[in-house]
Amino acid sequence: MPPVPTPPPATPARPASPAPHSRRSLLGGSLALPLGLALSSAFAAPALAAPGHTPVPAFVRAGRPCAPWGVQSGEITPYSATVWTRSDRPARMYVETSPSESFRYGVRHHRGPLLGPGTDFTGTATLRELPPGRQIHYRVVLADPDDPRRTGEPVCGTFRTTPVSRDRGVRFLWSGDLAGQGWGINPDLGGYRVFDDMRLRDPDFFLFSGDTIYADGPIQATAPLRDGSTWRNVTTEEKSKVAETLAEFRGNFRYNLLDHNLRAFNAQVPVLAQWDDHEVRNNWYPGQLIDDPRYTVRDVDTLAARARQAFGEYFPVTDLRGGRAEGRMYRVMRHGPLLDVFVLDMRTYRDANSPGRQSQDPVGILGPEQLAWLKRELSRSRATWKVIAADMPLGIVVADGAAHYEAVAQGDPGAPLGRELQIAELLRHIKHQRITGTLWLTADVHYTAAHHYAPERAAFGDFAPFWEFVSGPVGAGGFPAGPLDATFGPETAYVQSAPLANMSPSENPPYYGEVEIDGGSGELTVRLRRQGGGVLYTRSLQPGRVGQ
Of 136, 160, 184, the residue at which a domain comes to its end is: 160
CA distance 86 to 310: 13
Same domain, 145 and 214: no
Which of 110, 125, 160 is the endpoint of a domain?
160
- Classify residue 201: in a domain, yes or no: yes
Residue 371 placed within a domain: yes
**Cα separations in angstroms, 537 against 271, 443, 465:** 24, 16, 20
User: Pick from 102, 130, 160: which residue ends a domain?
Assistant: 160
Give CA–CA dist 439/111, Å, rounded: 39
In the prediction, which pLDDT does 521 show? 95
Same domain, yes or no: 138 and 247: no
CATH code of the domain covering residue 98: 2.60.40.380
Same domain assignment for residues 223 and 180: yes
Task: Kindly report the CATH number assigned to the domain that includes residue 214.
Answer: 3.60.21.70
- Residues 74 and 266: their CA atoms lie apart, in Å, by 10
Are 323 and 383 within one domain?
yes
Taking the C-alpha atoms of residue 245 and residue 238, their distance in angstroms, rounded to an integer, is 10
366 and 514 together in one domain = yes
Q: What is the mean pLDDT of each run of 10 residues along the chain (548 residues)?
A: 36 34 33 31 30 40 85 97 97 97 94 96 97 97 93 96 92 98 97 98 98 98 96 97 98 98 98 98 97 97 97 90 68 96 98 97 97 98 98 97 96 97 98 97 98 97 97 98 98 98 97 97 97 95 78
Q: Are residues 261 and 287 in the same domain?
A: yes
The answer to the question of residue 169 being in a domain is no
- 186 and 313 inside one domain: yes
Q: Whole domain around residue 108: which residue ranges?
A: 20-160
Q: How many domains does the chain have?
A: 2
Peptide bond preceding 413: is omega within 30 degrees of 0, i.e. cis?
Answer: no
3-state secondary structure 481-496: CCCECHHHCEEEEEEE
pTM (two decimals): 0.89
Mark whether 245 and 303 lie in a shared domain. yes
Closest CA to 137 of 23, 36, 261: 23
Task: Give the DSSP letter of residue 12.
Answer: P
**Residues 231 and 347 occupy one common structural domain:** yes
Q: What is residue 548's predicted lDDT score, i.e. its pLDDT?
A: 66
Domain identity same for 93 and 220: no
282 lies in the same domain as 315: yes
Q: Which pLDDT score, from 0 to 100, does residue 55 have?
A: 41
Q: Are residues 485 and 533 in the same domain?
A: yes
